[in-house]
Amino acid sequence: MTTRPRRRIGSTDRRATPGRIDLRLRRLALQVALALVLGSGAATLASATPSTDFSFFGADAVVIEFDEIAMPQSTVVTNQYAGSGVTFTPNVWFENHRAPIGWDGAHIANFQTGTTTVNPTVDFVFSGNVDGAAFEWAANGGNTFLLEAVLGGSVVESLTHTQAGCCAAQVLGFENVVFDTLRVTHQSGGSQFFIADRLTFHLVPEPGTALLLGLGLALLPGATRRR
C-alpha cells in the first residue's frame, strides 16, 4: 500500500505547480499590457523637447533618406512613402541636385525648381502616433518658419525657427511628445522655400494593440496546458 505524505493542517504548500506558474505568467502579461497602454500616452503629458540632432531615436526608428525610391527631378511626392509610414499634404517635390552640408543630394522641397510654385504649409502625416520626429533642414537666411506637432487636429507643441544663413543645414523636430502630424509653415521673410532630408520618426504602439497583445500572452499559458 502506498502511503501519501501528510500535509499539516494550516500549512501552505508553496511549491511551483503548473497552475501557479500559469497564473503568474498571466498576471505578468496583464501587467505588461497595462504598462504599454498607460505608457503609450504618457509622453503627451511631458514637455516636448525641440530636436537638434537624432540622438533621441533608437534602432527601431524609421529613417527616410529620400533616395530609397527612384524618381525624376521635380517629381510630386505625396504618398510614395506611405509604406514607410508617412505621406505629405498637399505635397512636396523630389530634388537631387542640391547638397547642403553633409547631405547626399537626394531630398524633398516645398517648391518646384525653376518655377514660383510653392506650398507655404506642408504636413508630414504619419501612419500612426509618433513620440518623436525630426529631419535635416535648410532654407534661405532671414526667413522664419513655424513647426507644429499636431495630434488629432490639435496643436500639442510648436516652435519658431528663423534661418540664420543661406543653406546652413541643421536638424529640426520634436521629441518626448505624442503627435500624428508634423506641420511646417512659412511665417515671414522673402523666401518661403525649404528643403528637408533624413526624415526620422518613431511610431508608438496603439493602446488597443498593446492590450490585445498582453491579453494574448496572458491566455497562452493556459491554452498550452490544456492541449
Based on the fold, state whether residues 81 and 190 are members of the same structural domain. Answer: yes
pLDDT at 200: 98
Q: How far apart are the first and last CA of the chain?
A: 33
CB-neighbour burial class of residue 193 (10 A; exposed 0-12, middle 13-18, buried 19+): middle
Instruction: Return the CATH number at 178.
Output: 2.60.120
Sign of CA dihedral 136, 174, 203, 57: positive
Q: What is the pLDDT of residues 140-196, one digit of tens each?
A: 999 999 999 999 999 999 999 999 887 777 899 999 999 999 999 999 999 999 999
pLDDT at 195: 94
Based on the fold, state whether residues 197 and 98 are members of the same structural domain. Answer: yes
Based on the fold, state whether residues 161 and 214 are members of the same structural domain. Answer: no
In which domain, by residue range, is 25 found?
A: 18-41+208-226
Residue 3 placed within a domain: no
The counts of H helices and E strands in the chain are 2, 11
Q: What is the pLDDT of residues 14-70, one digit of tens each?
A: 455 555 555 554 554 444 443 444 444 433 333 567 888 999 999 999 999 999 999
Based on the fold, state whether residues 179 and 222 are members of the same structural domain. Answer: no
d(CA 10, CA 204): 49
Residues 41 and 205 sit within 8 Å (Cβ to Cβ) = no
Based on the fold, state whether residues 216 and 107 are members of the same structural domain. Answer: no
Based on the fold, state whether residues 30 and 54 are members of the same structural domain. Answer: no
Residue 13 placed within a domain: no
pLDDT at 39: 43
**125 has a pLDDT exceeding 60:** yes
Residue 177 placed within a domain: yes
Residue 101 placed within a domain: yes
Based on the fold, state whether residues 156 and 221 are members of the same structural domain. Answer: no
d(CA 138, CA 193): 9
Task: Please name the residues in contact with 62: beta carbons below 8 A apart, sequence gap of 6 or more.
Answer: 84, 85, 86, 200, 201, 202, 203
- The count of domains in the chain is 2
Based on the fold, state whether residues 171 and 70 are members of the same structural domain. Answer: yes
pLDDT at 10: 43
Based on the fold, state whether residues 73 and 142 are members of the same structural domain. Answer: yes
Based on the fold, state whether residues 49 and 29 are members of the same structural domain. Answer: no
Residue 128 placed within a domain: yes
